Structure 1
């Protein structure tokens, strides 16, 4: 399939364009060294998503994994479109931030000096679905090709769910360029489908479970069609990592422990969701949690780059040496 001539800037929010302009200025003032707290621990700020997949960050705090590693970590909510967290990392306001795989690739395609340091969640066939496309129960939309000419709501344009939605339309024989994608707050997507403001919504986490609980119908296998796609990753600036490799390694090792704990203690994950999301507790209690995974599948990331470039969601196709920290837990697959 040849790359489409659609201009990617027309499909992405204005804030993403701003990121490309602001980042070089931010990089000039990047703070490479880590300060220490009054207790002597290396002080780190990490920006989380406002939607989901951030739970292991709080688990690492609660279980003392950061403290045991000599780290004083503050977790703060980042931008609604997590790809916009890059300027904060580049100018030293935060040392690490999370985004989805596509959000990171948007920054890498603009040659921002950022690197993935750890995975959080990847698509997997293990366990119950935790993301997908939702439509009204009686909707005439029965397959992804039926989305041609329809309006689909997304948490952000250009992110993982945008990429996967286009991929699934194409895989089903449809033309993704004929689908209108719009960005809405993740908390509003289900209501927008129910009231007919949009024809369908692609959502995730507890919001996906909540939509099903209200009677919306889920379609297809979602990201399970591409097992290994990074749904959540942590990244930092290349300058910070070069100057603070030992501290960064302690941080990702603490995160790895938290990911294992989260997989073994789903109730702990749901307790955090009840505190930091706007969803009713009963929806959260009934929902399935994601399968957390530190590994970043470089084979699937390369597939994302190729397809996103075709769809006009990336401005270029970055090479592997512009993507990963040299101590990041990466794996390859034959997928």
Structure 2
């Protein structure tokens, strides 16, 4: 398939935040050594997303997992566009940051010296739907191949969501190059579908629920169409990891404990969402929690890399040794 150009990268506030790369970033210096507090604890700053999926970080703090590991961790809200977080990781202002899979792969394709250290959330066939493609109830679009020649509204271009939409069109026998994608404010997506400004939109979270309540029809199974898509990741600089593998292992082990706790205690997740997000409390109470998972499915990631490169969403197809920390919890499909 011939690669084709795409529009400017937009912003997605939850799991599909974009990790854009500027050439000068690769030349940024970093502070490779971890600093220590007065009591000898290793100091770490982690930049979370501004939307969601960061709940386990606060759980690790609340449950004392970081403290027990000898870590003094500061959790800060990063920029809505994680391209603003990458320099902070590379120059040592932060040691770890969150992103989504497409955002990270975009950076890797530009040879940015960062590596995935842990997963946070992956798509799964389990649980209730919280995102997906929406069309008018009487729309002629009945299957993904029907999106050929149509316009689909997204909250940002070049994200995991755009990859998934194109992938599903292709899997259904359609030509994704014939689908037009436009970026719209997330608050405008449902209206765009309802008024015919776009033929379809991909919505998520409370906006997805509101769209269905307003009479829009949901198509497909959302991210669960391809289980294993990493929706939330933690990454660090290659230089920091080389100098601080022990501290990194303590940090990722503490996060792993928090992921297990989050899956077992949805009420703790919802309490954090009420404190740190702007989602309506009623929606938080009713919504299913994410599927927290430390493992990175490298088989699914390779599918994403190959297809995103074909669709023109990546400038190259980076190899695995340019993606993962050597102690990252990776798995393959079926393992």
CA–CA separation in structure 2 for the residues paired with 1:162 and 1:54: 22
Per the TM alignment, residue 52 of structure 1 is displaced from its structure 2 partner at its CA by 2.2
Tell me whether 249-258 or 156-165 shows the greater mean CA deviation: 156-165
Name the residue aligned to 1:107: 107
Query: Which of 3, 6, 23 is the matching residue for 2:4?
Result: 6
Tell me whether 266-275 or 128-137 shows the greater mean CA deviation: 128-137
Contact 2:34/2:244 (8 A) holds in 1: yes
Name the residue aligned to 2:14: none
Structure 1 residues 283 and 18, CA gap change in structure 2 (3 angstroms): closer
Tell me whether 172-181 or 325-334 shows the greater mean CA deviation: 172-181
CA–CA separation in structure 1 for the residues paired with 2:207 and 2:264: 22
Structure 1 residues 97 and 202, CA gap change in structure 2 (3 angstroms): same
CA–CA separation in structure 1 for the residues paired with 2:230 and 2:33: 29
Structure 1 residues 303 and 42, CA gap change in structure 2 (3 angstroms): same
Name the residue aligned to 2:151: 151
Please give the TM-score of this superposition, normalised by the length of structure 1: 0.89
CA–CA separation in structure 1 for the residues paired with 2:39 and 2:173: 59
Tell me whether 72-81 or 313-322 shows the greater mean CA deviation: 72-81
Contact 1:69/1:250 (8 A) holds in 2: yes
Structure 1 residues 260 and 191, CA gap change in structure 2 (3 angstroms): farther
Contact 2:295/2:330 (8 A) holds in 1: yes
Structure 1 residues 18 and 325, CA gap change in structure 2 (3 angstroms): closer
Matches within 5 A, 1:246-265: 246-265=246-265
Find the residue that maps to 2:234 and give its secondary structure: strand
Contact 2:101/2:229 (8 A) holds in 1: yes
Per the TM alignment, residue 187 of structure 1 is displaced from its structure 2 partner at its CA by 4.7
CA–CA separation in structure 2 for the residues paired with 1:122 and 1:240: 25
Find the residue that maps to 1:46 and give its secondary structure: strand
Question: Gaps (5+ residues) in structure 2?
Answer: 12-17
Find the residue that maps to 1:248 and give its secondary structure: helix
Name the residue aligned to 1:44: 44
Tell me whether 75-84 or 154-163 shows the greater mean CA deviation: 75-84
Name the residue aligned to 1:303: 303
Per the TM alignment, residue 286 of structure 1 is displaced from its structure 2 partner at its CA by 1.3
Matches within 5 A, 1:16-165: 19-25=21-27, 27=28, 29-82=29-82, 84-165=84-165
Name the residue aligned to 1:320: 320
Two-structure CA RMSD over aligned residues (Å)? 2.4
Tell me whether 284-293 or 72-81 shows the greater mean CA deviation: 72-81
Contact 2:10/2:157 (8 A) holds in 1: no
Name the residue aligned to 2:176: 176
Contact 1:19/1:84 (8 A) holds in 2: no
CA shift digits 1:25-64 (9 cap, x unpaired): 4x3x211111223454222111222222111112112222
CA–CA separation in structure 2 for the residues paired with 1:275 and 1:191: 28
Structure 1 residues 213 and 110, CA gap change in structure 2 (3 angstroms): same
Find the residue that maps to 2:116 and give its secondary structure: strand
Find the residue that maps to 2:22 and give its secondary structure: helix
Please give the TM-score of this superposition, normalised by the length of structure 2: 0.89
Structure 1 residues 319 and 47, CA gap change in structure 2 (3 angstroms): same
Find the residue that maps to 1:270 and give its secondary structure: helix
Name the residue aligned to 1:274: 274
Name the residue aligned to 1:200: 200
Question: Gaps (5+ residues) in structure 1?
Answer: none
Per the TM alignment, residue 185 of structure 1 is displaced from its structure 2 partner at its CA by 4.3
Per the TM alignment, residue 218 of structure 1 is displaced from its structure 2 partner at its CA by 1.8
Per the TM alignment, residue 321 of structure 1 is displaced from its structure 2 partner at its CA by 0.7
Tell me whether 311-320 or 154-163 shows the greater mean CA deviation: 154-163
